[in-house]
A and B are shown apart, each in its own frame.
Chain A
Amino acid sequence: MLLYTLKRLLLTIPTLIGVAVLVFFMLRIVPGDIVEVKLRADGGNVTEEVMQQERERLGLNRPLYVQFADYMWGLARFDLGISMWTERPVIEEIMIRLELSLEVAILATIFATLISIPLGTAAALFRNTWIDYVVRVLTIGGLSIPSFWFGMIISLSLLSLFNWLPPITFTPIYEDPVANLSQLIWPALAVGYRYCAVTARMIRSSLLEVLAEDYIRTARAKGVYEKLVVSRHALRNALLPAITVMGLEFAFLIGGLVVTEQVFNLNGIGQLFVQSVSRNDFMLIQGMVIMIAGFYVIINLVVDLLYAVFDPRIRYGG
């Protein structure tokens, strides 16, 4: 298992190189560059000469293959380069926001897991009763209501009911958990609703499928308590597909909270993404894409390893 994990981690290297190559050249196809945005965007009247100087300073006028080699060489040393806009290291730019985004994602996952498993199970066990209908309506809502809108509703409710708004500045959780949670719990709820809905529906349908399996009948024929039939015999099997969905959702949350972050005024990865794209900040975009790709790969690995924990039929040899 350990060997397998190591192998899988090694395999992420070619994947990430592929992503790096792809994103590097795709960005270069797009017309325009950061210098234009920086100097001419607000109707600024800057001479061509100045622009050339700025390009030279940022190394944008070098031949493409030189830029590429330079970039790849940096990657090999875990150096993502320097943001063309803020002129701070890309890693630094990402890291100061990653903590926040990661925490929102983790909070959302905890929230979704805690709610979706009992919800999905109840819906499956009481299939076609009012309980099932309520769950189904709730989850359909989760799928169709956009997170940012739900986030706005939460903010407005907080304001009108309690005349209170969550803090805007980020406090790390190890410094002041209360302040931290009072800021981040709301966006986590907003995105967690969708997350929870997707997972609950998955658990409901896979549990229904599992409950019709022969081995569930066997368990009942053994005289196992119905509670145990569900918790021990059925749920363990039914959780497998849910794990896949949860992994994908989690990876999505790292980079995909663009609008929700806006709503709650959070300085997270999503906002950074929007900014860097609108500024044509190639270095930052490249760095973020690679980081998110890395997240996807690692979360996939975690999902695969979790599979092995839950299902003895899956054993990864070394």
Chain B
Amino acid sequence: MEAKVQVQSRAAQTSVPLLAVEDLHVRFETSRGVVRAVEGVSYTVNRGEVVAVVGESGCGKSVSALTIMRLLAKTGRVTRGRIMLEGRNLLELSEDDMRAVRGHEISMIFQEPMTSLNPVLSIGAQIMEPLLIHLKMTEEEARGRALELMQQVGITDGERRLSQYPHQLSGGMRQRVMIAIGLACKPKLIIADEPTTALDVTIQAQILELMKNLSRELGIALVIITHNLGIVARYADRVNVMYAANIIEKGSADDIFLQPAHPYTNGLMRSVPRLDEPRGTKLQTIEGLPPDLRMPPEGCRFAARCPHKLEKCLKPIELIDLGKGHEARCHRVDEIMSGALKVEFPSGPPVTSQAHIGDKPILEVANLRKYFGVKAAGGIFSNEMATVRAVDDVSFAIAPGETLGLVGESGCGKTTVGRVVLRLDEATGGSIKFSGTDVTHHSGREMRGVRRKIQVIFQDPYSSLNPRMTIGEIIAEPLKVYGIVPEKKARAARVGELLTQVGLFPYMAERYPHELSGGQRQRVGIARALALEPELIVCDEPVSALDVSIQGQVINLLEDLQTRLGLTFLFIAHDLAVVRHISDRVAVMYLGRIMELADRDEIYERPLHPYTKALLDAAPIPDPRIERARAPRALRGEIPSPLTPPSGCVFHTRCPIALDVCKQKVPETRDMSKGHLVACHRAEEIQRSEVLQGA
């Protein structure tokens, strides 16, 4: 019986693709209506191929993937379509047959490595589980195979790791464990749903490189679901772009990136800041929001946001074949492909920097230190404290009208710098001068005056607005507290003005935060910060929770406001391209210290610190030609714990060119040319291109 099945499937291999999703329709019954999450999605995956599904949140990319695994929530229902795995329709299998497919023939890797592993089961038990169930291995065999898998995914010290629990592993390590679980039974297909979104850039590069290599070596097909175009360009053979429950364009990676046919694909590419674009360009943005999937428009679903829509765009449209597997769902695709129609999205005049670099700096931070005492794993009676050096000897200055970008991986201390500057945390040492006044040790009352001048925009627009206050109340609150606009009517008028300023409408003051989209909420956050007419705004990851097309809108808004109101920004982010786009100067942080600080063109074109170089190498660029030419150069190792930072240069444990001196001596920050500050013992050699060449 077994043999027969195998013969059949081998025969099938020649003609049928490994996986074929055919005309898939998925609906969710919610209390507020039926959401048509996936409508008419079809794509195929061949053996050993890497296929990407790209789109923004809510476009149906994850739902279609979960449908393949038949792991939809109970409210979800497949109303039409087939999912063929080597000639078998997965949707028609019995629940137990489907269970046998999961983890055996198709595995899935999820986005959140922090929550995707069971906290109360050991790593070993979780890796061995599918082996015991599907391959009927004995404990002994499964253990051996688990060790082998750990090695394959780059986990050293597997023996010890097997008996550890998820909380003892870092995010990157956990994702490796997830991959090991996925690989365990040598599946034919792995579906990876945003596998690296929660990880740092350098770890992301490691994980993606690992997945690509494994899929190549073991001949496993890979479906990558992502919103990150850079990842797609680097790893995918074929790409499906989804928008509002439809696939709107599909083709090879080259087709999609070099000759995008659909206006949405075009817009998506241009609304992302890129590491390789010339400076000063303004992002083109796709205005508006995706349609409500409870009642999607009948015609082209992108028409409402498309700058080139015509009358005929209101009529329904199917995917149009452009040859060689390139297809697009657009009425004007012929014009676009022939070049008769050039797709352009609204942007604005290029931005010119408003920075008055020569002037007295508005914010001066000197030798700033922030140590946190954490209770060591002692007990009730021991008061042993361990010190986390979250920020260690950080100095920088920001000129009026300037944007200083502060970039680094998680745990590098960038957010703490922001919090200390805002005086939300007390500095352990060093000084903070605002407009020439030392505010490091200002009392609460003295700070009140200063606080007005320094405002903050937070990362998460979902949790940073009080859900029980209206938008109007949220924005009016600081006006009331500081007695700036004491009169109620005048305050309402000012709120309307502020809302207009950030591209919202005055009538939205009546609404509650949950009634707004993520992008709109972030605009409210900005309006609230602007209410006090501040001089300096600390932006802490202001766009990282937003979708690509919305991200572009918010970045443009911040730039506009800076020009109009002469604001100064301390822009904290982990996305190198976003930081490069918006900043005048950029500081790169690692484990509490600034590694390099320079003018943004200087730092991105001539990085003098090996860490900056590594970060730039790790960040994928949404252009397959560039990506193919780049050597994969993932930084090895993990970020050390800030509890026990390495001696000497904190980066030496991961540095490809570390010498003995790096282990012993903390490198001084030196000015290499016109304010290009670097803290590296070998900066001169890097400058003379003696080491790290071609990186």
Contact = CB atoms under 8 A, between A and B. Distances in A.
Given A215-B115, A218-B110, A311-B119, A316 B102 contact: no
Interface size class of B (residues with CB under 8 A): 20 to 34
16 contacts: A214-B110, A217-B110, A218-B181, A219-B129, A220-B71, A221-B107, A221-B110, A222-B181, A225-B133, A232-B121, A236-B121, A237-B120, A310-B120, A311-B120, A312-B165, A313-B167
B379 A223 contact: no
A233 interface: yes
Contacts of A220: 71, 102
A213 interface: yes
A63 interface: no
Interface stretch (A3-11, A95-103, A157-165, A251-259): A3-11
A312 B102 contact: no
A78 B71 CA distance: 61
A44 interface: no
Contacts of B69: 221
A73 B569 CA distance: 68
A224 B95 CA distance: 12
Nearest to A215: B118
Nearest to A233: B118
A257 B362 CA distance: 69
Contacts of A225: 99, 133
Interface string A214-245: 11011111111110000011001100000000
Contacts of A232: 121
B378 interface: yes
Interface string B108-124: 10101001111111100
Interface of A: 3-4, 7-8, 11, 213-215, 217-226, 232-233, 236-237, 310-313, 316-318
Contact of A317 (B116, B167, B377): B377
Given A4-B379, A11-B380, A223 B120 contact: no
Contacts of A313: 119-120, 165, 167
Contacts of B118: 215, 218-219, 233, 237
Given A214-B110, A223-B100, A312-B119, 16 more contacts: A3-B379, A4-B379, A214-B112, A214-B116, A217-B110, A218-B181, A220-B102, A221-B110, A223-B101, A223-B104, A224-B129, A224-B130, A224-B133, A232-B121, A312-B165, A316-B379
A215 B378 CA distance: 30
Interface string B181-222: 100000000000000000000000000000000000000000
A225 B95 CA distance: 10
B519 interface: no
B332 interface: no
Interface of B: 69, 71, 95, 99-104, 107-108, 110, 112, 115-122, 129-130, 133-134, 165, 167, 178, 181, 377-381
Given A313-B165, A313-B167, A218 B119 contact: no
Contacts of A11: 380
Given A221-B108, A223-B133, A313-B165, A215 B117 contact: yes
Given A7-B380, A214-B112, A223-B133, A312 B120 contact: yes
A221 B71 contact: yes
A317 B378 contact: yes
Given A4-B379, A7-B381, A221-B108, A213 B102 contact: no
Contact of A237 (B100, B119, B134): B119
Query: Lowest 3 A-B CB distances belong to which pairs?
Result: A223-B103, A223-B102, A222-B103
A215 B123 CA distance: 13
B119 A221 contact: no
Given A221-B71, A222-B129, A236 B120 contact: yes
Nearest to A237: B120
B69 to A, nearest CB: 6
A8 B379 CA distance: 10
A218 B133 contact: no
Contacts of A213: 115
A225 B98 CA distance: 11
Contact of B115 (A3, A4, A214, A223): A214
Given A312-B119, A313-B165, A223 B381 contact: no
Contacts of B181: 218, 222
Contacts of A226: 95, 99
Given A221-B107, A223-B103, A318 B379 contact: yes
A220 to B, nearest CB: 6
Contacts of B129: 219, 222, 224
B186 to A, nearest CB: 13
A312 B167 contact: yes
A223 B116 contact: no
Contacts of B134: 223
A220 B120 CA distance: 16
Contacts of A7: 379-381
A268 B656 CA distance: 75
Contacts of B377: 317
Nearest to B70: A220
Nearest to B111: A214
B99 A223 contact: yes
Contacts of A236: 120-121
A211 to B, nearest CB: 11
A11 B380 CA distance: 9
Contacts of A221: 69, 71, 102-103, 107-108, 110
A226 B98 CA distance: 12
B379 A317 contact: yes
A118 to B, nearest CB: 20
A7 B378 CA distance: 12
Nearest to A212: B73
A302 to B, nearest CB: 17
B129 to A, nearest CB: 6
A209 to B, nearest CB: 13
A218 B130 contact: no
A219 B117 CA distance: 8
B73 to A, nearest CB: 9
B681 to A, nearest CB: 39
Contacts of B122: 312
B130 A222 contact: yes
A237 B71 CA distance: 21
A219 B95 CA distance: 15
A45 B102 CA distance: 87
A283 to B, nearest CB: 33
A221 B184 CA distance: 12
B116 A218 contact: yes
B643 to A, nearest CB: 15
B251 to A, nearest CB: 29
B305 to A, nearest CB: 32
A34 to B, nearest CB: 40
B102 A222 contact: yes
A314 to B, nearest CB: 10
Contacts of A222: 102-103, 107, 129-130, 133, 181
Contacts of B110: 214, 217-218, 221
Contact of A218 (B101, B117, B165, B167): B117
Nearest to B74: A127
Nearest to B113: A214
A217 B103 CA distance: 12
Nearest to A6: B379
A86 to B, nearest CB: 40
Nearest to B134: A223
Q: Which of B100, B120, B121 has the most CB of A within 10 A?
A: B120
A9 to B, nearest CB: 11
Contacts of B119: 215, 237, 311-313
A104 B380 CA distance: 35
A217 B71 contact: yes
A112 B122 CA distance: 30
Contacts of B165: 312-313
B515 to A, nearest CB: 24
A287 B302 CA distance: 77
Contacts of A217: 71, 110, 116
